[in-house]
Structure 1
Amino acid sequence: MIVRILFAVVAVLTVAVLAVLSWPQGFGLEHSIVIAQVVAFRPVLALAAVVLAVLLLAGMLVARRTRGLFGFLTVVLLLFAGGQAAVLATRGWVPDAGHAGASETATDDDIVVLSWNTLGGAADAASIAGLALRLGADVVTLPETPESTATEVAALMTAGGKPVWAHTSSHGDYLSLSTSILVSTALGEYAVNDTFGDTGTLPSIVVSPVNGDGPTLAAVHPVAPTPDDLEGWRTDLDWVNRLCQTPNLIVAGDFNSTLDHLTGIGDCRDAALTAGTAALGSWPTWLPALVGTPIDHVLTTGGWRVVSAEVIQSEDGTGSDHRPITATLARE
């Protein structure tokens, strides 16, 4: 009798935990410790569930008394793995989808956005500028990129025929405590807009057109949701939520959050989700994009249509632990 009760408790707890991990938003737990970190790696969760299911199947062959429990847990784990795959499929994880495979190409009226966390400038200015010029980027957001690197990138882009304005915000002397944004001069003159405030530990920067004609642009970098910084991360996401109430906004950067965490972000829409590439991981580069976590984003509010979006996998050897992402946006 006691054994049956214990088995029932194990079964109920397992179902409850897997239900929360499948859709933490439904329980309001997407910003909770442990869950916030674990749910960021849905592909890994799916693979781990399959491995555990196989081990339980093997255990059923040698453990007669626990065969019923093991069989039940095997079915539950396989359903959980299938659920993770279904969520990722709805977000899109086709490797060659996005910018390179889009049926439409950028026109003169479109805005091409490039975002790349360069790990304190570990990805050098030549690599950043070269990629920006190949993409024809009009807006380049660069978390963890100091002013010196941003200035060099701007000079290289100008020499390559794409002159840009460069702006940087810093929260200290460490290279990783800087966020830069480059804006094509073809979009007009832009200046830093301090009225929006800032994220906490790591800097974000918002720029607005001097003549008032054009989108508000932002490069953002909420802190990572480590146990010590969890409250700061939540506060940073609240700031992003307020920023996303701005009309005609384009915001990009390292959000340290997946779509599971970006709930209630005002009127912002995720470009990769629209383009069907939102399940491809931008971090870390040592994991394949199909397994990594998509924490870098390009978001827009009204007035913009997503032509394409891509996680760029050709720059994994340039030094950063993040992959660059790009999105092409057309005016509606």
Structure 2
Amino acid sequence: MPTRFLSALIAIGVSVALLILSWPQLFGLQNAWVVAHVVSLRGLAVVGAAAGIVVLLLLLPFRPLRRLAGLLMVALLLFGVTNTAILASRGIKTDAGQASADESAAPAAWAGAASEAGTADSVTVLSWNTLGDAPGAAAIAKLALEQDADIVTLPETTEKTGVAIAEAMRVGGRPMWVHTVAFDLISKARSTTLLISPDLGDYEVKSAAGSGPPGNTNVLPTVVASPADGNGPTVVAVHAVSPIQFEMPNWRSDLDWLADQCTGKNIIMAGDFNATIDHMAGRAATDSAVLGDCRDAALSVGSAAVGTWPASAPMLLGSPIDHVLTTPNWQVDSMQVIASRDDSGSDHRPIVATLSLTP
């Protein structure tokens, strides 16, 4: 049975490990394998801590284990409380909004005719990793029409499906331009499609068709589209590789590259980052940003702890790895993680944000 010294030693070791898992940024370990996975599931970590406390409670009647069990219970309690506080600070609202104090005062920052739902100084951005076109073009178009989307970013969506979505949206009264970057035509995961309303002007794809920096993310494609006349936001449809063991270097490189793409004065970036805001730590240009010059829309309205993956998990136990990021010239009027499509066939939940230019 453990002695007092051994009990204290074990408790200290476990406490240090839990501290690292609670706030790995303190040690620069937020992008380390295993740690990156645990910190991405803070809600599940809280549940795990509670389960551990229950198990340790059952050991308290055994006198030789009582001291060690008590010390570990305290460590797990602090771990659970810390993660709960972090989740609460980031926000657990599933449908959050922040209305402009005077929307009429927002200046028109680029030319373009007003559409029914969006104007030159207000856009709605929908993003959905479709798991290789799984929901189908009709279902994706229906959601985009319901949300009056002006910009739709679709990781793991082929050009063929993107065109079908645009055709369905045109029938629904919202035509869209389709821009797709595919690294190959073998795996649908290696295609990313971006739809942009013609009301926002003409756009040209700037990201390279080949994988890897400096032209693109490493394994899965990202679409970078800029206004043809230089008058409007650069739009980035993101798909970073997931941080599985043999892709860790590519994952870290993807986040570095995306931080570079989110550097400027007028950028809207949305998609599957395969990263939470914990993983983005150290890549922000300012204290108010999370990646490059960009701020997280969900964080700004109190919904940054709501899980977008996997769709099969409760929203507060999942990982918030899908994001809408913008430069400070954009204000977030609303942000929502959509749970009504959890049975669509995709393992990600769609997210939608309405943005307006900062007065």
One fold, TM greater than 0.5? yes
Contact 2:207 2:222 in 1 (8 A): no
Q: Quick one: distance in 1 between partners of 2:207 and 2:314?
A: 38
Which residue does the alignment assign to 1:26?
26
Report what 2:107 is aligned to. none
Distance 2:215 2:326 in 1: 19
Q: 2:204 aligns with which of 191, 200, 203?
A: 191
Task: Tell me what 1:130 maps to.
Answer: 142
Which of 243, 259, 267 in structure 2 is aligned with 1:225? Answer: 243
Q: CA deviation at 1:72?
A: 1.4
Deviation sequence 1:162-216 (CA, Å, 0-9, x none): 1111000011121111000000000001111137620011000100111111000
**What is the CA–CA distance in structure 1 between the aligned matches of 2:337 and 2:160, rounded to whole Å?**
26
Kept in 1: contact 2:308–2:348 (CA 8 A): yes
Task: Report the residue type matching 1:98 in the other structure.
Answer: A
The SS at the match of 1:58 is helix
Pick from 269, 286, 289 the counterpart of residue 251 of structure 1: 269
Taking a change above 3 Å as real, the CA distance of residues 156 and 57 of structure 1, as seen in their structure-2 partners, is: same
> Partner amino acid for 2:299?
L
- Whether 1:292 and 2:290 are equivalent positions in the alignment is no
1:213 maps to which residue? 231
The list of structure 1 runs, each at least 4 consecutive aligned residues, that deviate by more than 2 angstroms after superposition, is 1-5, 102-109
Note the alpha carbon deviations across 1:29-54, whole angstroms, 9 max, x for none.
00001101111110111011011111
Q: Of 348, 354, 358, which residue of structure 2 is paired with 1:322?
A: 348
Secondary structure in 2 matching 1:218: strand
Alignment partner for residue 334 of structure 2, among 282, 305, 308?
308
Write the letter of the residue equivalent to 2:76.
L
Paired AA for residue 138 in structure 1: D
Q: Does residue 1:269 correspond to 2:295, yes or no?
A: yes
TM-score normalised by length of structure 2: 0.88
Once the two structures are TM-superposed, the CA of residue 75 in structure 1 deviates from its matched residue by 1.5
Q: Secondary structure at the match of 2:353?
A: strand
Q: Could you tell me which residue of structure 1 aligns to residue 96 of structure 2?
A: 98
Give deviations 1:76-122, integer Å, cap 9, x for gaps.
21111111111001111123x326xx657976331100000000000
Return 5+ residue gaps in structure 1 as ranges. Answer: none
What residue number does 1:71 align with? Answer: 70
Partner residue in 1 for 2:16? 16
> What are the superposed Cα offsets for residues 17-37 of structure 1, whole Å, 9 maximum, x if unpaired?
110011111110000011011
Aligned position for 2:159: 147
Distance in 2 (alpha carbons) for counterparts of 1:68 and 1:302? 52
Q: Is the Cα–Cα contact under 8 Å of residues 7 and 67 in structure 2 kept in the other structure?
A: no
For residues 6 and 75 of structure 1, the distance between their equivalents in structure 2, rounded to whole angstroms, comes to 17
Secondary structure, in 3 states, of the residue corresponding to 1:66?
helix
CA distance in 2 between partners of 1:119 and 1:256 (Å): 13
Q: Is the Cα contact below 8 Å between 2:118 and 2:150 reproduced in 1?
A: no
Deviation at residue 318 of structure 1 after TM alignment: 1.1
**Count of residue pairs the alignment pairs up:** 328
Q: Is the CA contact (8 Å cut-off) linking 2:126 and 2:351 kept in structure 1?
A: yes
| Counterpart-to-counterpart distance in 1, 2:265 and 2:38 | 33
Q: CA deviation at 1:246?
A: 2.5
Aligned mates of 2:326, 2:342 — CA distance in 1:
26
In the TM superposition, residue 315 of structure 1 has moved relative to its aligned partner by 0.7
Give the distance between the partners of 2:144 and 2:345, measured in 1 at CA. 17
SS in 2 for 1:252: strand
Pairing 1:43–2:61 present: no
Paired AA for residue 126 in structure 1: A
Root mean square deviation of aligned Cα = 1.6
2:204–2:227 CA contact under 8 A, matched in 1: yes
CA pair 51-194 structure 1, distance change in 2 beyond 3 A: closer
